[in-house]
Amino acid sequence: MGRARLVALALLLVALGIGLWSYYRLRESVYELRAGNLQAALDAQVNALDVWVGNIQQDARRAAAKPEVRRRVEALVASTHPPQTDDATRALIELLADSSEGAIALHLMDPHGVILMSRFPRYVGRRVSPDVRARLAPVFRNQPVFIRPYHESERVIELEEQFPHPLVWMEVPVRSRAGAVIASLGFGYRADEQFARLFQAAWPDRTGEIYAFDAHARLLTEIRHAAQARELGLLPAEAKRSGVLSLQLREPPSSADAQGTPPLTALARAALARSGADETQIHRGVLLEPYRNYLGVDVVGAWRWLPEYDMGVAVEIEAAEAYAPLRYLNIGVAGVVVLMLCIAAALFIPRATLTRWFPAGARRVGPYRLLAQIGEGAISDVYLARHKYLKRPAALKILKLSASTDEWRARFEREVQLAARLNHPNTIAVYDYGLAEGGTFYYAMEYVDGLSLAQLVERHGPVPAARAAHLLRQVCSSLAQAHAQNIVHRDIKPQNIMVARNSGDVVKVLDFGLVKHLDEEETRDLTRALRILGTPLYMSPERIRDAGAADARADIYSVGALGFFLLTGRRLYETANDHDLTYHILHVPAPRASAFAAQPVPEVLDDLLYRCLAKNPSDRPASAQEMIAVLDKVLAEDAWTREQSDAWWRSASAAEHAGAGRPAD
């Protein structure tokens, strides 16, 4: 026993040395990882902003280039009469009225900043402020300009507030027939709608916030933590969720600030110190040491100044959440000490006592006994389970404790409640839902022994056209029932479609975690509160632009991308990163499946999938029922039979057993 004690002591010393070295190395890694995450979130937000600005710029340029618009603008600029709203001006306004989706205002300005034409007559003849006029200078050098949010009384001289909400503007040059820039055409958008939603959709993690701010440290977007801001008196009590030009990035007042203005936050000071620097350089920074934000909460953050937009963009997250791994790391160091004691004590604790302390056995959740984990997601785990009394197998989805926030619980409950409304044979059946001991949320659903479409193609290659039509018809049949109840799935992808073994290729659509009910206000509110989720490759263009705006035609687009994958075994767009993928989905026409499929694709099926992938929702099939009718025509010419299905599964099963053993599905 003496030798054993010496060995135990040596192990204790080695564990102590390794633990201390690991602690300092891991602490540095956590800081580096957080810096990278903050920069990545910031870059993704700037890319999204660039895409949106590019879209409204394209609309404005297209309007300014219309020959009739140019002719009327040239006549208006050449007029020697004072600016007024006459028939010619009204005709020009009507000509431009539908040129930019979402715009609520438009105007025309000369090089001196005088408003020559406006949708609102009281603006005509007035001049914009010197600050805005300076921003407009590039327009008269034939360059478009995005004007950040301004109050209208701040943007236009001697004008009382015209709108209750600040506006952003896209200004583009209008050229004469001789090619000279003669005026600036502007379209105005509510800053608290499309512009603000770009930032709301990207709020990271549980406490993270991404926002824009101007050179006076004023917030240009809505804030996430409106309740706290109202309690501190930073926002009016009646404000729902605002912050656009109504809140400044200053630390909350304290007793020391009673006689003066509170200082700007550390991030605002760092960003504004560089806001006037060389515009050819990228000005950005990361603050990894906790500082107080405008709510007085300790946060870490990153910023980037965008001179082309005359504003900055920042991301912040509470330090407690950002460095949560350090808390566990500290616990781990303490655990090393405990481990040392355990190693020493293990020489003396009887085995029977250890068995009593750590009993073996399967975990139970409610009336279910967990048998094996079969899946894992961002907020939940999926287990193969068996009911205690019915002895029926089930797939049990359990919400992770780390995701047990009010927001995720609401999403989890919505998922099971909406899925339970559907009773289609091609939709996964929901058995049960509850709250187990210890606060574990779970729901039980039908267990499918088979392969997901992702596993089917990745392991066995593309499928024949007849089988693809057979599988897609069942997916559309499930969606048809959901759409009839105004329920949109919004996350159709190969991983969410199961094919059962030994059943004639029966399809089950699952994972209703992103379901949206078009008739329920609480669903729309929750959609706006959540980040953009789902698999970008299978998202429709309109869902990428606005996560809350997608309807049933977004599912039809996803089915088209799914069909392309089944027939070709490849991604719809082969890109190097998500930014390029987003650009392709928004702007690059989808390829035809027949161009990449190794096997023949019937023309009617090829055309159907190509229509599904149209950028404009109105160009897609009108409904899942319309798709079913076309797929029935395909199957009438070349059916996928039960005999073919059974033969394929026997061959696939033999191939799996001939390898390293049958993989878990």
Whole-angstrom distance, CA of residue 153 vs CA of residue 159: 5
d(CA 506, CA 448): 10
Who's near 592: CB < 8 A, 6+ residues apart? Answer: 606, 609, 610
Residue 417 is encoded by which pair of tokens? 């409640």
Task: Collect all residues with Cβ–Cβ distance below 8 Å to 25 and sequence separation of at least 6.
Answer: none
Phi and psi (nearest 5°) for 18?
-65, -40
- Which residues, other chains included, contact 304 with Cβ-Cβ below 8 Å and sequence gap of 6+? 42, 46, 282, 283, 284, 312, 313, 314
Residue 328 to residue 334: CA distance in whole angstroms = 10
Taking the C-alpha atoms of residue 659 and residue 652, their distance in angstroms, rounded to an integer, is 11
Is-contact 365 398, C-beta < 8 A? yes
Q: Which amino acid does the sequence have at 447?
A: Y
CA distance 534 to 548: 13
Active-site annotation holder among 192, 214, 491, 511: 491
Q: How far apart are CA 111 and CA 139, in angstroms?
A: 9
Strand partners, 436: 440
Task: Say which residues have a Cβ less than 8 Å from residue 233's Cβ, sequence separation at least 6.
Answer: none
Helix (H, G, I), strand (E, B) or coil at 188: strand
Calpha distance 473→488 (Å, rounded): 17
* Cα–Cα nearest to 192, from 153, 249, 119, 246: 246
Measuring CA to CA, how many Å separate 377 from each of 397, 426, 427, 438, 663?
A: 10, 22, 20, 21, 19
Write 308-311 long-range contacts (CB < 8 A, 24+): 308/146, 308/279, 309/49, 309/53, 309/146, 309/148, 310/135, 310/147, 310/148, 310/214, 310/215, 311/148, 311/212, 311/213, 311/214, 311/215, 311/220
Active-site residue 491, yes or no?
A: yes
If you search the block for the tokens 């515009």, which residue do you land on? 279
**β-strand partners of 117:** 108
| DSSP element (H, E) containing 554 | helix 552-568
One DSSP character per residue, 602-661 reads: -HHHHHHHHHHT-SSGGGS-S-HHHHHHHHHHHHHHS---HHHHHHHHHHHHHHHHHTTS
Are the C-beta atoms of 204 and 41 separated by less than 8 Å? Answer: yes
Residue whose C-alpha is closest to residue 210's, from 315, 107, 346:
315
Q: Which residues are catalytic?
A: 491
